[in-house]
Amino acid sequence: MTDVALRFVDWSWKSVPRLPADLFTRNDIWRLDLIHCGTEELPEAIGNLTKLRTLYANWCRLRALPESIGRLVELEDLWLNNNELCRLPESVGRLERLKQLCLDSNQFSVFPLVALQLQCLENLRLVDNAIPAIPEEISGLSELRNLSLGRNRLRVLPPSIAKLSRLRYLGVQGNPIASLPPEVWAMPSLVTLNIAHTGIQRVPPEASRIPILLR
């Protein structure tokens, strides 16, 4: 590595099964892209990148995240789609600035409860997992604008989800849901509701308040 400030490191679509150790001696990287690079694990040393704001690690073969990821206190965007994750370390709850957490196409069989600690979260994606239930405490994520839960195993949603007063997009497509809590149809900021390929056959008159209803 040179002494020039890196800011942005992009190893996407390159073969980098093991990340070079000298990368983690830097403290000037704001964005790290590892998309489809064959990386099988993120080392504990990633916690040294304390100025990192964006981490893309989609289409890798990650089965777990290191506890040290909780030291990335500046992190705002964490993209981990298309991996083999089934849980998140408790240290993720220390990512107080995290706004985007994207976990599509992983192996979650339960909702990752540690995500409920992320009070700045605006976008939470969990599409294409095997999650059977959403906790009532989801209502505590008061900054959420987008909640993508498509193609899981959800049969119901908790009524508390309607307390997400800033939510603009709610996607439950491809779940075996037969109905939604009545409160959902009256959510004040909801612009798009995706209920395609669910068991919902009829919608109430209140559905007319939602500008975009995907069925």
Residue pLDDT, tens place only, 38-92: 888 999 999 999 999 999 999 999 999 999 999 999 999 999 999 999 999 999 9
In terms of C-beta density within 10 A (0-12 exposed, 13-18 middle, 19 or more buried), how is residue 46 classed? buried
Give 175's contacts (C-beta < 8 A, 6+ positions apart). 149, 150, 151, 152, 153, 154, 155, 198
Q: What is the DSSP letter of 138?
A: G
pLDDT at 4 over 80: no
Strand 212-214 with 7-10, pairing? unpaired
pLDDT at 196 over 80: yes
The domain boundary residue, chosen from 110, 140, 171: 110
Pick the range with the lowest mean pLDDT from 9-23, 102-116, 134-148, 171-185: 9-23
What is the arithmetic mean of pLDDT over 101-120? 98
- Give the neighbor-by-neighbor strand order of the sheet with 29-33: 7-10, 29-33, 54-56, 77-79, 100-102, 123-125, 146-148, 169-171, 192-194, 212-214
Return d(Cα 14, Cα 35) in angstroms, integer.
Answer: 9
The domain boundary residue, chosen from 52, 75, 110: 110
Shared-domain flag, residues 26 and 78? yes
Q: What is the DSSP letter of 102?
A: E
Residue 114: pLDDT band (50, 70, 90) is very high
Q: What is the CATH number of the domain that holds 210?
A: 3.80.10.10
Q: Which pTM value belongs to this model?
A: 0.94
The domain boundary residue, chosen from 56, 79, 110: 110
Q: What is the domain count for the chain? A: 2
Instruction: Retrieve residue 43's tokens.
Output: 């080392």
The rounded mean pLDDT for the chain is 95
Shared-domain flag, residues 90 and 54? yes
Which of these, 93, 11, 22, lies nearest to 58 by C-alpha position?
11
CA distances (Å), 209 to each of 55, 73, 114, 181, 192, in order? 37, 39, 33, 15, 10
Return d(Cα 181, Cα 75) in angstroms, integer.
Answer: 34
Return d(Cα 180, Cα 145) in angstroms, integer.
Answer: 19
Residue 158: pLDDT band (50, 70, 90) is very high
Which of these, 142, 191, 141, 143, lies nearest to 171 by C-alpha position?
191
Longest dimension (CA), the chain: 63
Q: How much is the pLDDT for 2?
A: 47
Shared-domain flag, residues 22 and 79? yes
Return d(Cα 48, Cα 24) in angstroms, integer.
Answer: 6
Whether 211 is in a domain gets the answer: yes
In terms of C-beta density within 10 A (0-12 exposed, 13-18 middle, 19 or more buried), how is residue 162 classed? buried
Q: How much is the pLDDT for 1?
A: 42
- For residue 16, the enclosing domain spans 1-110
In the chain, the percentage of residues whose pLDDT exceeds 70 is: 98
Q: How much is the pLDDT for 106?
A: 98
